[in-house]
Structure 1
Amino acid sequence: MTKQTWTAAVSALLFVALAAVVSLTPVPFVSWSAGTTVNLFEPVDGQSRVEIQGVPTHATTGQLRLTTVSVTRADSQLTLPEALLSYWLSSREVLPRDAVYPPGIGVDEIRVRDVRMMDDSQSAAVAAALRAAGEKVVEYPMVTAISNGSPADGRLEPGDFVLKVNKQTVRTIADVRDAINKSAVGEAVVFDILRDRQALAPTMITVGSHANPSQPVVGIELAIGYSYAPRVAFRISPDIGGPSAGLIFALAVYDMVAPGDLLAGRSVAGTGTIAGDGTVGSIGGIQEKIAGAETAGATVFLVPAANCPDVLGLATSMRLVRVATLSEAIAALEDLKDPALAGNVRGCS
């Protein structure tokens, strides 16, 4: 073997080895692509995906599709070739990993976060839908988390509605904090709560805050919760998390509770977070969700108003409808049933 041949062979081997290392080395990116859709009006294992008790319900027709994004899992890594392929393909998107999975948060924490956001989304969706259907909904400060070993540990539970603190009626999170602050560190406070519709009055002894030892705390986190007469349950795969299905959950509950037939046999998809007052918020992966809905055969797609700039110029066979609130989504779906009114339904262009 000549010197030139030996050099060429070694160079080729080094190139192959380097290429193999590069192709297997993880890069700090994740890939988004079109995910599956879930028809909330299609039974699963013989049971309804949306079950409502305690209020009359009505039959529905058509399909109401929750949309998802297929994303690189938190416990997986994207290699350079995979990242480049996702970047070049029009149906995919590449994002910095830190933008999707905050650094310093473990896989289990991410899963707990996603489940919590899904639960919060469903609660807000039910409240917004019942309000839109004319049902009574009451807001209360609600316990969402309890610190281990805190005064509230074993006395309060996530989901408890707080009605009073030391006999003082509370209606907001600030009211609860103000009522606790009226006690000194080491004094007893009594919470009047509703748990599973049962009235309870647990007592706990305040301790000093870690940040300010003179400030009394009981070790709870609070958010606004919603109380209503109907019982609503969603049967959704635990693999689906996050808040982006709020609008579709709300429409499912509304269509089942309100008289009439909102979908009228159509296949409708959409996305968007939702607040208890019906406000629809923006989400990520809108183009991927539109692609997934189109593949599933949807003819109408509800786009959060804040996401409209993300779909300008996007080619799709579906009717894209801009919505900023649940009431706008309901009105648009009603108008689209009437050819005389369909032209007035606002899109994103």
Structure 2
Amino acid sequence: MPRRTATMLASTLMLIALLCAGVFIPVPYSEMSPGPTVNTLGDHDGEPVLQISGHKTYETSGHLNMTTVRVTSADYRMNLVEAVYGWLAHDNRVVPHDTLYPDGKTEEEATQENAEEFSQSQESAKVAALKELDIPVKSWVVVSTVVKGSPAQGRLHAGDVIKAVDGRTVKEPGDVAELVTEHKPGEDVVFTIVPAKEQAAAEKENRTPTTTKDVTITTATSDDAGEKRAIVGISAGTDHTFPFSIDIKLADVGGPSAGLMFALGIYDKLTPGSLTGGKFVAGTGTIDDTGKVGPIGGIGMKTLGARGKGAQYFLTPADNCAAAAADVPGGLTLVKVDTIDDALGALEDIRSGKTADLPKCTAK
């Protein structure tokens, strides 16, 4: 066999071997790509995303789109060829697997966490929108979760309202941990609660619950990193009673990043006129009960997805601005927002045509 032919054959066989190896060798990476974008003012799967009853609503126009990121699952093992292709593809981003699923989180755990964050973001969006409209919302501190095997298991339950700890009134979720950690491990702490069932019955009957009880729990020692402290094994959160019904109908979406756009959609439906002036506005960002907008992950994927659907403006959390501005899709204006007030002010500029006044994102 001629030397040149032999060399070409050997090179071809080596290339085939490398490709085969690339297909079968797993690498510790995951992939992100633009996900669906949904207009919070419109319909999804045949029904309105925002459904409000018991209060006057108004016609809306334009788009206030929430955006998402599609990611490979926690148990998917990417191979080398897929990773290289993802690195080369502009619309995809390959990241270390632990970035999306830290501490060996399973698919089931990730899905559950995303569902909980999505539910909480909806509640905060409702609160932020109604507070912006000066519509009163009743709030209280509750037991969000109880750790299995902890001192609180069987003693406290998710949904219990925490009125006081050791006789001291609880006003914010953070008060609970602060009061518990004043104890040494092994000491007793007394929770004054309204049981979840009593709270639910009172809400249903539109009355203030009257039944409280004291629950004594012996604290344990924390086993996480950091300074050892007394714990009972619960996380505290905030629950709300709204003066009318606000339902958000959007399945197969998780995480907290749609909070801002849900809040704006609710605000738009409860006020005359159109927030967008008919324009196509998309955005992202967490939101808390006070209307503060927080950063999210996958900003580049979300701007790509939004522009691909026709968005002209993108409401961007201030902390994500630099990353988003580093690679802006053509034709999309990134608008910097830090609060719901910032977002409403930007929308006023957009619908009035004063786009030169918009606080735009810039790359550092």
For this structure pair, what is the TM-score category when the shorter chain's length is used for normalisation?
0.7 to 0.9
Q: What residue in structure 1 maps to residue 293 of structure 2?
A: 280
| C-alpha distance after superposition, 1:247-272 (max 9, x if no partner) | 11111111122333212322211011
Task: State how far apart, in whole Å, the 2-side matches of 1:298 and 1:178 are.
Answer: 45
Q: What residue in structure 2 maps to residue 307 of structure 1?
A: 320
Judge conservation of contact 2:307–2:332 (CA < 8 Å) in 1: yes
Q: Aligned pair 1:39/2:50, yes or no? A: no
Q: Aligned pair 1:93/2:106, yes or no? A: no
Deviates more, 1:15-24 or 1:251-260: 15-24
Identity of aligned residues (%): 34
Q: What residue in structure 1 maps to residue 120 of structure 2?
A: 120
Q: 1:26 to 1:216 in 2, by over 3 A?
A: closer
* SS of 2:121 mapped into structure 1: helix
Task: State how far apart, in whole Å, the 1-side matches of 2:155 and 2:189 are.
Answer: 16
Q: What residue in structure 1 maps to residue 345 of structure 2?
A: 331
Q: 1:342 to 1:153 in 2, by over 3 A?
A: same
Judge conservation of contact 2:282–2:311 (CA < 8 Å) in 1: yes
Q: What residue in structure 1 maps to residue 311 of structure 2?
A: 298
Q: How big is the alpha-carbon RMSD for the aligned residues of Structure 1 and Structure 2?
A: 3.1
User: 1:254 pairs with 226, 245, 267, which one?
Assistant: 267
- The one-letter code of the counterpart of 2:83 is A
Describe how 1:105-184 pairs up with structure 2 within 5 A.
105-148=105-148, 152-153=152-153, 156-165=156-165, 168-177=168-177
Judge conservation of contact 1:83–1:94 (CA < 8 Å) in 2: yes
* SS of 1:337 mapped into structure 2: helix
Total equivalences in the alignment: 346
* SS of 1:263 mapped into structure 2: coil
Deviates more, 1:105-114 or 1:174-183: 174-183
Describe how 1:156-235 pairs up with structure 2 within 5 A.
156-165=156-165, 168-177=168-177, 185=187, 189-192=191-194, 195-196=199-200, 197=203, 199=209, 200-211=211-222, 218-235=232-249
Judge conservation of contact 1:32–1:93 (CA < 8 Å) in 2: yes
Task: State how far apart, in whole Å, the 2-side matches of 1:43 and 1:324 are.
Answer: 28
Judge conservation of contact 1:271–1:304 (CA < 8 Å) in 2: yes
Task: State how far apart, in whole Å, the 2-side matches of 1:259 and 1:133 are.
Answer: 12
Task: State how far apart, in whole Å, the 2-side matches of 1:257 and 1:153 are.
Answer: 42
In the alignment, structure 2 segments of 5+ residues that lack a partner are: 224-228
| C-alpha distance after superposition, 1:258-292 (max 9, x if no partner) | 33321232221101111211111122221221111
Task: State how far apart, in whole Å, the 2-side matches of 1:90 and 1:216 are.
Answer: 49
Q: What residue in structure 1 maps to residue 65 of structure 2?
A: 65
Q: TM-score, normalised by structure 1?
A: 0.86
Q: What residue in structure 1 maps to residue 50 of structure 2?
A: 50
What is the deviation of 1:67? 0.7
* SS of 1:302 mapped into structure 2: strand
Judge conservation of contact 2:221–2:231 (CA < 8 Å) in 1: no
- The one-letter code of the counterpart of 1:81 is V
- The one-letter code of the counterpart of 2:33 is S
Deviates more, 1:227-236 or 1:60-69: 227-236
Task: State how far apart, in whole Å, the 1-side matches of 2:305 and 2:74 are.
Answer: 22
Q: 1:166 to 1:228 in 2, by over 3 A?
A: farther
Q: What residue in structure 2 maps to residue 347 of structure 1?
A: 360
Q: TM-score, normalised by structure 2?
A: 0.82
Q: What residue in structure 1 maps to residue 333 of structure 2?
A: 319
- The one-letter code of the counterpart of 2:308 is T
* SS of 2:351 mapped into structure 1: coil
